[in-house]
Structure 1
């Protein structure tokens, strides 16, 4: 099974590289640097801070989009070409195919995370840039695991991408939703809204605590932040992989 997982993971990474992923990463990096540099020139008073924060935000969003789109389209393509049925017919458990796909997406995430880390390293202290890069990698692993789970369940690209985008936006803004839900007016409706936002926050990962721009700007990242990111990544990747595995085993091909 280990050899099958390694083979599928390597094939997944090769598929990504053959689809001109490196050119896309180069274009995204140049675009992000160009936009951030333009805003630095437009707002010279806070030029460096604006440049760093915007560059980090653009790279984070682009990296999540690249990983999610590839994870979804690769599995949809396998379904369309009947490659899933062929792979599952081999004398390996279904978990080998799924774990191989997840491992391949995890390896793929190293590329955009590495590019983003190199670009922000020139604008922030090395330790904070390293912390930001590692936490971005954990964020990409969670996004990839959710994209794989959605694609196995929905089996179509558009609804899977929409669900993944909704998950990412909601997980990124869940703390703000909680603050808005617990408003200053303590009426019954506000309590219901607050309870609902608390329930959503309990289920979703705290992606707003990943790859924070303030780490790069003010050097506030600590080992506790790294521990929180590592714990959240391990928990949610494991949960999403387990949910995807359950869905895969219940399917009849």
Structure 2
């Protein structure tokens, strides 16, 4: 059952022209990087690698988020999900099949995005960046699956997903601003804001540690940096899968 749902989801990705969109993303990012690198005064290779990595990361995450939410909502709207759940199999198999397909799609997107980076960065750094991008994209797809069950509206689900992603990516900067503000007086409100942001940062995944474009530039890459990425992927992936399965079990379609 899990394998069947995974194959069906992969077929959806093929029919939705996800590979074509990924190809267009690569071309657009390549052209943008070439223009930016042409005006760089120094470190042309490092500048091009960092800009290309940042644009590819944003594009890959956006593509898999759109696909995950739209595919799940389409199955709910055309009653395909009702047929799947009517089968003699646990509903958790549907979630596991979806997550398995999303993992394969995330790996394929990460590999495709990593190939052009080999022109400017060492293979080890590119491989680590690709692994981190696959983990980040898979977490976003898993969250998209949960939000599709929760809201059942594409605009609401995508808006919530975008807000979550931007907050998770910017938590480190927000916490830094709260601890060392510029034009803010000391007081109880500052302590309250700092404690609130610290609590949110403790609960949410630290996506600012994922897929750092600096690994491909002058900052360099250390394989040890992947350990927190893999650990958070396992923990939050399991939590999102459990939440999606729980939401699926409690709903009547």
The alignment's TM-score, normalised by the length of structure 2, stands at: 0.95
Aligned length: 250
Does 1:197 find its partner at 2:197? Answer: yes
Per-residue CA distance 1:133-166 (angstroms, 9 max, x = gap) = 0011110111011111111111111111111111
- Paired position in structure 2 for 1:57: 54
Counterpart Cα distance in 2 of 1:120 and 1:229: 20
Contact in 2 for aligned 1:25/1:112 (Cα 8 Å): yes
- Paired position in structure 2 for 1:173: 170
- Paired position in structure 2 for 1:217: 217
Does 1:188 find its partner at 2:168? Answer: no
Per-residue CA distance 1:64-118 (angstroms, 9 max, x = gap) = 0010000000011011101111110000010111111111111111221111111
Does 1:235 find its partner at 2:210? Answer: no
Select the residue among 81, 84, 89 that pairs with 2:81: 84
Contact in 2 for aligned 1:182/1:193 (Cα 8 Å): no
Does 1:26 find its partner at 2:8? Answer: no
Deviation at 1:220, TM superposition (A): 2.9
RMSD after superposition = 1.2
**Comparing 215-224 and 32-41, the one that deviates more:** 215-224
Contact in 2 for aligned 1:39/1:47 (Cα 8 Å): no
2:89 is paired with a residue whose SS is: coil
Contact in 2 for aligned 1:75/1:151 (Cα 8 Å): yes
Q: Which runs of 5 or more residues in structure 1 are unaligned?
A: none
Counterpart Cα distance in 2 of 1:7 and 1:87: 10
Q: Which runs of 5 or more residues in structure 2 are unaligned?
A: none
Cα 1:122–1:219, aligned 2, differ >3 Å: closer, same or farther?
A: farther
- Paired position in structure 1 for 2:248: 248
**Comparing 41-50 and 202-211, the one that deviates more:** 41-50
Deviation at 1:219, TM superposition (A): 5.5
Contact in 1 for aligned 2:68/2:145 (Cα 8 Å): yes
Counterpart Cα distance in 2 of 1:227 and 1:187: 38
Contact in 2 for aligned 1:124/1:217 (Cα 8 Å): yes
Contact in 1 for aligned 2:132/2:210 (Cα 8 Å): yes
Contact in 1 for aligned 2:148/2:157 (Cα 8 Å): yes
Per-residue CA distance 1:17-57 (angstroms, 9 max, x = gap) = 12212211111101000000001112233432221111000
Does 1:41 find its partner at 2:73? Answer: no
